[in-house]
Amino acid sequence: MVRLMMILLGVEYLRERWRGVMAAGVASALVGAALFVDALDGVLFFPIAPFAWLLLNEGLATLAVAWTGMGGQRTLRYVKGFGFCITAALVLSGYRHASFIISMVFATLFLADGLLQIASA
């Protein structure tokens, strides 16, 4: 992922902003670890709703600009936007089987990501 970020953003961009990138990475890792540890006992004390709202905003923003892409880029933006919106709606809905559905979606995405990484290696 670091190589991809260097290609997409450029080495000079990252050299100038490495502290911010590192702080965002550390914050993301801490939130992920807290969510993981919190979910181990089956009782969720972490306020997940604010993150679901952020996810919904990201999905809506992606859908708003999806039409600007070309070819496969446009399709991927629509898939990402709809995926984020559906996931956020499941979290915010309080549907009793929402956790299972979200788990299956993430498991499928991790499986696809792993297979793509294996194929590209």
Query: For the chain, what are the domain ranges?
Result: 1-41, 47-121
pTM over 0.75: no
- Residue that is written with structure tokens 């559905």 in the block: 101
38 near 44, Cβ under 8 Å? yes
Residue pLDDT, tens place only, 31-73? 878 877 777 776 766 677 888 898 899 889 989 988 887 878 8
- CA 35 – CA 27 distance, rounded (Å): 12
